[in-house]
Amino acid sequence: MIYAIIQAIAIFFVPWIIIKNHKFVITRWIGTVGTAYLLGIIVSLFIFLLKEIGLSFTINSDIGEISSHLAISIAIPLLLFSSNLSEAKKLSKTVLKSFFSLVISTIIVSAIAFYVYGRTLEFGGELSSMAVGLYTGGTPNLNAIGNIFGLDSTTIGVANLSDMIIGAVFYMFLLLLAKPLLSKVLKPSDNDKYLTAHSNVENTEILDENRFILTKVLVKRVFLSFMIALIGALIGIVIWVVLGSVDGRMNDYLVPSMMLTVTIGGIIFSFNKKIRSAKGMNLLGQYFILVFSFALASSLDFTRMQGLFNDILILYSIITVGVLFVHTFISRIMKLDVDCTIVTLTAGLYGPAFVPAITKQIKNDNLTVPGLITGSIGYAIGTFLGMLLGLIFIV
């Protein structure tokens, strides 16, 4: 009982420590999510080593699983609430075509990777569908799809870990080599109009805990997120009952229903200006993402990790490189400029938070807001795209 209480406290306390110290050298190097996974992996490794030397010590897997489900269910609506999806109507045809190119590239490459390599792997269909969500939206989409298809925490955790390793290497490529290389096959930026009207969209993913105040409004937003998740869970339970209340199968309906409901609810409420304008929602959303990440990583089973890690790392490496080539090829056919191609690629593969650094590096601040908007669109559609492709892969 004491261990369970300590575990529960750590799951919700460690992420806040990470946010408070997000300027620490390690956190700046691997990011807040990477730090949460690193600390979680250290916990898992410590428990694994204790077992290896014959000591009986285990953590409560139910606490980790429940905490991770709850955290991601609250995080997704909070992140979507603060995304100004209505601003998408201000994107120019150039940006829309470029983002469409990215989405199509991700679908094509993920499908080919699955049929050539992924279907030989355990959970290959699910992992390939998670890549679709990941590379059009972001980490929340990957985790939502993994939960929708009922993957265990170790598989989802290894998928996240593989993405972090590949993502770190590929992001350096985007910063240092992408523009010089892609400029050889794509036309230069000729000051295309990337927006049809002025937009006030800001990068809401900047972590500034010094300006964070837990107001009544924020508490209401968290409560709204929780209620949306609860409604999704109840829908799942109803479906389970209607289908016969088979023992041990309730989570097969509860979790997918909850993930879909929080995504749909988050999108719907993001169009409400009063809800969208609440300050601090993104920081809270990021906090719950860290709770999810730490809970997941601390539950990793090292006895299953090695084979999984190699397989998933190869699969996601193939998809990442493939998306780059296909997106560039389609952009060339549609005569899109190199800067727009790089920014939409970044928005899809990494999400809005990474866009400003890229636009600064390529010296085109005109693409910062379009990149933030397309990144938000990716959050909104990534889960649905991945789920639909997953249904095709798994059948």
Pick from 120, 129, 119: which is nearest to 150 by CA? 129
pLDDT for res 87: 84
Of 42, 7, 70, the closest CA to residue 289 belongs to 70
Domain boundaries of the chain, sorted by first residue = 2-188+211-394
Instruction: Give pLDDT tens digits along the chain (395 positions).
Output: 676 777 778 888 888 888 888 777 777 777 788 888 888 888 888 887 887 787 766 666 667 777 888 888 998 898 888 777 888 888 999 999 999 999 999 999 999 999 999 999 989 999 999 999 999 988 889 999 998 998 888 899 899 889 988 988 898 899 889 999 999 999 988 766 888 887 766 665 555 555 556 778 888 988 999 999 999 999 999 998 888 777 767 777 888 899 999 999 999 998 888 888 777 787 888 888 888 888 888 877 777 776 788 899 999 999 999 999 999 999 999 999 999 999 999 999 988 888 888 998 998 888 988 999 999 899 999 999 999 999 999 87
Alpha helices in the chain (DSSP H): 2-20, 25-52, 61-81, 93-116, 124-136, 139-148, 153-176, 178-182, 216-242, 250-270, 273-276, 281-297, 302-333, 338-350, 355-361, 368-394
Could you give the angle at the alpha carbon of 125 between the alpha carbons of 268 and 312, nearest 5°?
100
Return d(Cα 132, Cα 390) in angstroms, integer: 9
**With contact defined as beta carbons under 8 Å apart, do 57 and 121 qualify?**
no
Give pLDDT, residue 9: 84
> For residue 91, what are the β-bridge partners?
195
Residue 51 vs residues 44, 59, 295, 307: alpha-carbon distances, Å = 11, 12, 20, 20
> What is residue 10's predicted lDDT score, i.e. its pLDDT?
85
pLDDT, position 206: 57
pLDDT score recorded for residue 8: 79
Residue 202 is predicted with a pLDDT of 63
Go through the chain and tell me how many residues it has.
395
Torsion angle of the four alpha carbons 212, 213, 217, 223, in this order, in degrees rounded to the nearest 10: 80
Backbone dihedral angles phi then psi of residue 187, each to the nearest 5 degrees: -70, 150
Contact between 349 and 132 under an 8 Å Cβ cutoff? The reply is: no
Q: What is the pLDDT of residue 295?
A: 86
- C-alpha 310/C-alpha 162 separation (Å) is 9
Tokens of 215: 């107001």
